[in-house]
Amino acid sequence: MAPNKTLCLSLLLAAAAAATLAAANGGKLSPAYYSTTCPKALPIVQSGVVAAIQKETRIGASLLRLHFHDCFGCEASILLDETASIATEKTAVPNQSVRGYDVIDDIKAELEEACPGVVSCADILTLAARDSVVYLGGPSWEVDLGRKDSLTAGRAAVNTSIPPPTFNLTALAASFSAQGLSFRDLISLSGGHTIGVARCVSFRGHIYNDSDIDPSFAESLQQICPRSGSDGVLAPLDLKTPTHFDNCYYRNLLRKQGLLHSDQELFSGNSEADSIVRTYVNQPSVFFKDFVQGMIKMGNIKLLTGSQGEVRTDCRKVN
C-alpha cells in the first residue's frame, strides 16, 4: 500500500476509534479516555512539559496560566491564530502576555506522530497545567479527558471574562461566580500565583497608589518599575519561592506583600477571605486539596464533548 494511503487509513481508524469511545462514554469525560486509542498520550504530554520546564523554569507557570485563560471555556480556543473568520483570543487584552503556545505545539506534534487525530488540544492544555504544578512541587490529581476543540474563538468575550489585576474582591468573586466557581475556589485558584512572574504594567498601580501594601516591599518594586515606562519588567508573584509550588503566596499576603492589587485583595479585611488565607498558611495540605478541587471544576467549564467541536491536528487552526 502506498505511504500516503497508509497514513490516511491510520487517521481514519484512529478517528473512528475515538468516536466509538466517545459514543460509549456518552460524551462524558474519563481519565481513561485515551487508554486504548492513544495509551502513550499522558507520558508524551508529561515528558514535553518536563523538558520545557527544565529548559526554562518559568514556562511551568506560563502553562498553568495558559490553561486558566483558556478555561473560562475549556475548548482550546485560545490557541487559534487569526484568520479571516476567526478573531484570535491571543490579542485580547488579558492574553497579550500569555506564553507557552510553542510548548503545546511541540507536544501536539509528538502526539500526532504517535496517534494521529486522537488527542485534543484542550486535553493537552489541561494535562500540561497539571504536570507543571506537579513538577514544581505541587499536588497531583487525576485529569478527566475527552474534551473537544472549538471551531472558533471569542476575543470580545475574553476581554470581559478574564479578571484583570486591578479587580477588588467583590469583582473577583463575581467574575469567578459567573463561571460556576465558588468564593473558596477564587481563593484557592489564586494560589497558582505561588509560581511565575508579572509585568510592571500589571502591578504599577498597586505599588504606587495602594495603602494596603508593605512600604518596604513597595519601595523595592519601585526601583525596577517606575511610574512610567519599563512596562515589561518582571517581578515574581511569590517573593519567597517563585519557582516552587507551595503556600508561600498566602504567607506573603499576611505580610502585605501580594504583588498584584487583586492578590492582596484576598487578605484585606473580608472575614471569610482572611480566614481561608490563614487556613492555607497554617495547613498547606488544605490549600493543596482545595486547589485540586478548583482545578477540576475549572477544567469542566463550558467544555465540548462527544460530537461537539473537533480534534484539531494543528492546535493553531481548525481542521
What pLDDT score does 267 carry? 98
Q: What is the 3-state secondary structure (H, E, C) of the chain?
A: CCHHHHHHHHHHHHHHHHHHHHHHCCCCCECCCCCCCCCCHHHHHHHHHHHHHHHCCHHHHHHHHHHHHHCCCCCCHHHCCCCCCCCCHHHCHHHCCCCCHHHHHHHHHHHHHHCCCCCCHHHHHHHHHHHHHHHCCCCCCCCCECCEECCCCCHHHHHHHCCCCCCCHHHHHHHHHCCCCCHHHHHHHHHHHHCCEEEHHHHHHHHHHCCCCCHHHHHHHHCCCCCCCCCCCEEECCCCCCCCCCCHHHHHHHCCCCCCHHHHHHHCCCHHHHHHHHHHHHCHHHHHHHHHHHHHHHCCCCCECCCCCECCCECCECC
What is the arithmetic mean of pLDDT over 276-299?
98
| Confidence label for 73 from pLDDT (cuts 50, 70 and 90) | low
C-alpha grid cell, residue 123? 486535553
pLDDT of 313 higher than 50: yes
What pLDDT score does 124 carry? 98
* 240 contacts 251 by C-beta, under 8 angstroms: yes
What is the arithmetic mean of pLDDT over 250-270?
98
pLDDT of 9 higher than 50: no
- Percent of the chain residues topping a pLDDT of 70: 91
What is the arithmetic mean of pLDDT over 32-58?
98
Please state, rounded to an integer, the average pLDDT across all residues of the chain: 92
Cα 168 to Cα 171: distance, rounded to the nearest angstrom: 5
Structure-model confidence comparison of residues 7 and 99, the more confident one: 99
What pLDDT score does 10 carry? 42
Helices 121-135 and 284-298 pack at an angle, to 10 degrees, of 170
| Confidence label for 74 from pLDDT (cuts 50, 70 and 90) | confident
What is the arithmetic mean of pLDDT over 35-59?
98
pLDDT of 152 higher than 70: yes
- Percent of the chain residues topping a pLDDT of 90: 87
Determine which of 54-58, 91-95, 108-112, 173-177 has the lowest per-residue pLDDT on average.
Answer: 91-95
pLDDT of 14 higher than 90: no
What pLDDT score does 72 carry? 76
First to last CA, the chain: 25
Cα 292 to Cα 308: distance, rounded to the nearest angstrom: 27
What is the arithmetic mean of pLDDT over 64-70?
96
pLDDT of 3 higher than 50: no
What is the arithmetic mean of pLDDT over 172-181?
96
pLDDT of 12 higher than 70: no
What's the gap between Cα 263 and its chain centre? Answer: 17
pLDDT of 4 higher than 80: no
pLDDT of 194 higher than 80: yes
pLDDT of 16 higher than 90: no
What pLDDT score does 7 carry? 39
Query: Residue positions in the annotated binding site for substrate?
Result: 163
Helices 101-114 and 58-70 pack at an angle, to 10 degrees, of 80
pLDDT of 215 higher than 60: yes
Query: Residue positions in the annotated binding site?
Result: 70, 73, 77, 89, 163, 193-194, 238, 241, 246
Cell numbers 475556589 label which residue? 185
What pLDDT score does 157 carry? 87
Question: Which residues are part of the catalytic machinery?
Answer: 69
The pLDDT tens digits of the residues spanning 106-134 come to: 999 999 999 999 999 999 999 999 999 99
pLDDT of 151 higher than 70: yes
